[in-house]
Structure 1
Amino acid sequence: MGISSERAQAPHRRDHRIDALRGVALLMMCIDHIPQNWLNRFTMRNIGFADAAEVFVLLAGYASWLAYGRAFAKKPVAEVLARIGRRCWQLYVFQIVMVVVCIATIRIWRHFWPVPVDFLEPELAHGLDSVWRVLSLVALPGNLNILPLYIVLLLGFAPLYALLRGVGTPVVLGLSAAVWLGVNYDPRLNFPNWLDPDGWYFDPLAWQFLFVLGVCAARVAGQHDGSLPRSRLLAALCGLYLVFSAVQSFPWLDWGFADLRPVVMALPDKMILSPWRLVDVLALFYLVQSSPRATLWANTRMGQLMALFGRHSLEIFTAGTLVDLYGRLVLTSFGTGWMMQVVVNVAGFYVLLAVARVKERQRVAARQARAAMPDTVPARAPLCRG
């Protein structure tokens, strides 16, 4: 797609389906990261091969095209690269803040209440001498490993854009798929992680394929008024696969039911983004992003609430990670009875809601300030910006 055709497209209208789906994924990630939380019996990982992490990365690719891909066609390259660099720096700062808060919290907490061994990552057990490894992303603690993946993928967005413009979408998808297949064939192809001999929990060489698919999906949707082209046959195949995935993944025995799984198979590997997981999230995404009903739901009160979380994904993810930490500590130290479950879940939800509302007020205020700013800049001035 050339520059002229991209500029000729209709003005961008924010697609609330993307924000709402991302908001749902963020809440599920928060719930899933508290093992003692009874609510995690109802998240998507129990009714499918994929979970909220796959949705998050796929939408990261989709949103990256909306935020930066189209900008390359309209603004100076240096300006867009600077925006990407600032976003990567912001992601890194949030990552370090989470690491520092988590380490400090656990160190203080264990002076008053016992902390299980699984809370004590090696950088805690070995003291502060190894903290530099965490700061340099050489060591990625558990539950703090998805933002580094996002940083790596976003740093590769500019070369990805150049390849898409230079050799075309089919070639780029083929190259990306080849790397993903190579990792699935040999899982040793991974970034090193000082805390895990197997490498990064989200292997960037595998997960880049999901990010690239999200980018390409955004380009296709941009040519069809923001939606993926609807095919009844493809939608039916996606639905059938999701039914199989749900029956195969449901924890029948945990609920006291007979095991109704149709086939015996190993749990699909998350680290290398197993094909079972990849197809699962793609089927779900296609049904949502090609469905007018999903658009209607995204505009309901519940859909707008989820979209509120999704619009501020970084802040909600960060707050959710800290909610996870304190929720795990509280449930571990004071029991997992129904009263503590209610306290942890209600308190956690309102913390996330407060963060989302504050960020939304800031976003609206900034937009109003820009709208009220007098347009006194000469028309030729933007040509001089770099």
Structure 2
Amino acid sequence: MEPPQPSPSALTRKISRDHRVDALRGLALLMMLVDHVPDDLLNRITIRNFGFADAAEIFVMLAGYASYLAYGRLIDREGWKTGIHRILARCLKLYLYQTGMTLVFVWTVRQWRHYQPLPEYTIEPQLAHGYSWLWRILTFDALPSYLNILPLYVVLLALFPLIYWILKRSLWLLVALSVGIWAIANLDPHLTIPNWLDPSGWYLNPFGWQFLYILGILGAVWAAKNNGDLPYRPWAKALCLAYLAGAFVLCFPYEYWHVPFLRIFPAPPNMGKSTLAIWRLLDIMAIFYLVQSSAALRRISADRIGQSLALLGRNSLEVFACSTVLDLLGRLMFASFGINLWEQLVMNVVGLGLTYALAIPLDRVRQRARAARASSRSAAPATPASE
């Protein structure tokens, strides 16, 4: 199945908001909320237990999809200067959220230790004392565990103008460059950005993960030619389902659920997340195709259940920041007071409740702002046609 070359009309065509994208992103945010607390029982039912990929891959691929819709159309409509200015403003906002979360992370752990003993792994030893690490945090030279996806997004989004410039000239050149960089990163894991806290470098290696981001962009280009849908092909659906079924058989945690093993051969030896191994890449591509080519899921995403997830997806940055802080508090609670069913119940109910308590008013503000912009555009006097 060959991706089509984007024509100028396709690149500038306005696409109505696809609730599947927001709903899938919202689902990924919920999975991150429980996955980042290793002892949370709910993370036993997230996709990382049933395939090669996890919520991070969903998040990054949809970031590429959304970047094309938000900034590609903006560049075509208002020019490169406006598009780059908007991208830089978004990058700055992401940077401030990342820095703020990291400082809250370190301060919270240090204060907690005044009252409750904590194991060393709750914070990297380099961050435990003093403030000589501060400049490393500010320059992304130090990325603590669970705080590594926003810096990746900042790098990829900052590169979007270059990516889009290449895309408008040659889709296949963009694909060739992206595949080549991804392949080199997988062959040589030393091709990465240094991380003061980890000799292996950034956990989510931008040289590998850029391919997934660009695939999201190409998916948006393709969907633009088909009213926001990826073209439905029965053979492609069957192939994706077969791959996901095989991944399920290989990755399912049989030991945890105490059920008979169904693996007829071992899982692939290299399933590295850092450089986005091929198995992970194919896994998330299959999921993305099945979702974005499904008319049924498009309808479901617009109903009450779908909109409850899309609510989170439309406010993903704020929801992610809130979830990250809640995850930290959950890990500290379990480390200090142990794990029991009641603590699990309270933590998950409170975490979910606070997440929606943040997203609901944010979404109302967003909808009012959008309505105001639409009203101002409709009220603006028409520009006389040039003679």
TM (norm. structure 2) is 0.94
Q: 2:84 aligns with which of 81, 84, 103?
A: 81
- Determine if the alignment matches structure 1 residue 63 to structure 2 residue 56: no
**Of residues 195, 209, 212 in structure 2, which corresponds to 1:210?**
212
Q: Partner residue of 2:321?
A: 318
Between stretches 244-253 and 293-302, larger displacement belongs to 293-302
The one-character-per-residue Cα deviations of 1:144-168 (angstroms, maximum 9, x if unpaired) are 00000000000110000110112x1
Number of aligned positions between the proteins: 378
Which aligned runs of 4 or more in structure 1 are off by greater than 4 angstroms?
A: none
From 262, 265, 269, give the equivalent of 1:263.
265
Q: How does 1:179-190 map to 2 (within 5 A)?
A: 179-190=181-192
| Match of residue 383 from structure 2 | 379
Name the CA distance, whole Å, in 1 between partners of 2:16 and 2:191. 40
Q: Deviations over 1:318-356 (max 9, x none)?
A: 111011001111122222111100100000001110111
* Structure 2 partner of 1:276: 279
**Cα deviations across residues 243-287 of structure 1 (Å, max 9, x unaligned)?**
000110111112222332222233610001000000000001100
Does 2:28 match 1:29? no
Query: Counterpart of 1:45 in 2: which secondary structure?
Result: helix
What's the counterpart of residue 225 of structure 2? Answer: 223
In the alignment, the residues of structure 1 paired with residue 125 and residue 299 of structure 2 have an alpha-carbon distance, to the nearest angstrom, of 47
Aligned AA (1:233): W
Residue deviations 1:102-143, cap 9 Å, x none?
111101101001111111213323421112101110010000
The alignment status of 1:38 with 2:38, answered yes or no, reads: no
- Amino acid paired to 1:3: P
CA RMSD of aligned residues (A): 1.6
Task: Tell me which residue corresponds to 1:153.
Answer: 156
SS in 1 for 2:379: coil
Are the counterparts in 1 of residues 61 and 215 from structure 2 also a CA contact under 8 Å?
A: yes
Tell me what 1:383 maps to: none
CA distance in 1, matches of 2:360, 2:85: 28
Residue pair 1:58, 1:213 contacting (<8 A) in 2 also: yes
Query: Which position in structure 2 is the counterpart of 1:384?
Result: none
Query: Which amino acid in 1 is paired with 2:353?
Result: Y
The answer as to whether partners of 1:3 and 1:73 remain within 8 angstroms in 2 is: no
Alignment partner of 1:192 out of 194, 208, 219: 194
Contact 1:123 1:131 (8 Å CA) reproduced? no
Pair 1:129-2:136 in alignment: no
Tell me if 1:3 matches 2:8: yes
**What is the aligned partner in structure 2 of residue 232 from structure 1?**
234
| One-letter amino acid of the counterpart of residue 157, structure 1 | F
Deviates more, 1:261-270 or 1:235-244: 261-270
Instruction: Check the 8 A contact 2:74/2:82 in 1, yes or no.
Output: no
**SS of equivalent to 2:247:** helix
DSSP 3-state at the match of 1:129: coil
TM-score (norm 1): 0.95
Aligned partner letter, 1:88: C
Q: Aligned residue for 2:3?
A: none
- Give me the whole-angstrom Cα distance separating, in 2, the residues matched to 1:340 and 1:312: 28
Residue ranges of structure 1 left out of the alignment (5+ in a row): 381-386
User: Which amino acid is the alignment partner of residue 125 of structure 1?
Assistant: A
**Identical-pair percentage:** 46
Match of 2:117 among 106, 114, 117: 114
